[in-house]
Structure 1
Amino acid sequence: MFRAAMPIDASIGVHEVLELRDQNEDVHHGKGVPKVVKNVNEQIASALISKLDPTQQKEIDGFLLQLDGTENINANNDTAYVLLHG
């Protein structure tokens, strides 16, 4: 089993990735991540699983950056990136 953690509510600098939060105040005070889970399940998981082993972190990083296609990882969001990066 792999785990990941990331700080929330920290200031975001110009070179930092963007967070995706659901903004639903009824779920974890707007900081829930069901959209992130949906993105992982529908857009990332099948492509990632078919190509890489979980121990290949450097390759996973490159794959996620390529898949996202943005400079600051905002298309699929940093939350998914951190969860998958471990």
Structure 2
Amino acid sequence: MLFMVKLTHDYSTCQAHHPEKFPLFRDTLASVGDHGIKVHGHYSNRLEHTAFMVLEADNFEQLDAAFDPILEMGNFEVTPIVEK
């Protein structure tokens, strides 16, 4: 199943201003494959503090487990999508 994940944060919680948090964010994104998730695309709009990811997983619980370490670092919107 495909999912579009939209991650937003504001200026005050941006990892650029909290460099101690960046390794956790980077490592969490790098390890989604350990949860059985395939990354189809990862895009960002730095000026809007927004990232988009197209991910493939068997279920939502895989996404929840993979992103658990960074859930408090922003707002996650997860939408199931289909490819046409």
- Per the TM superposition, whether the score is higher than 0.5 is no
- Name the TM-score, length of structure 1 as normaliser: 0.30
Would you tell me which structure has more helix in proportion to its own residues? 1
Relative CO higher for 1 or 2, CA cutoff 8 Å, sep ≥ 6? 2
Would you tell me which structure has more strand in proportion to its own residues? 2
- Name the TM-score, length of structure 2 as normaliser: 0.30
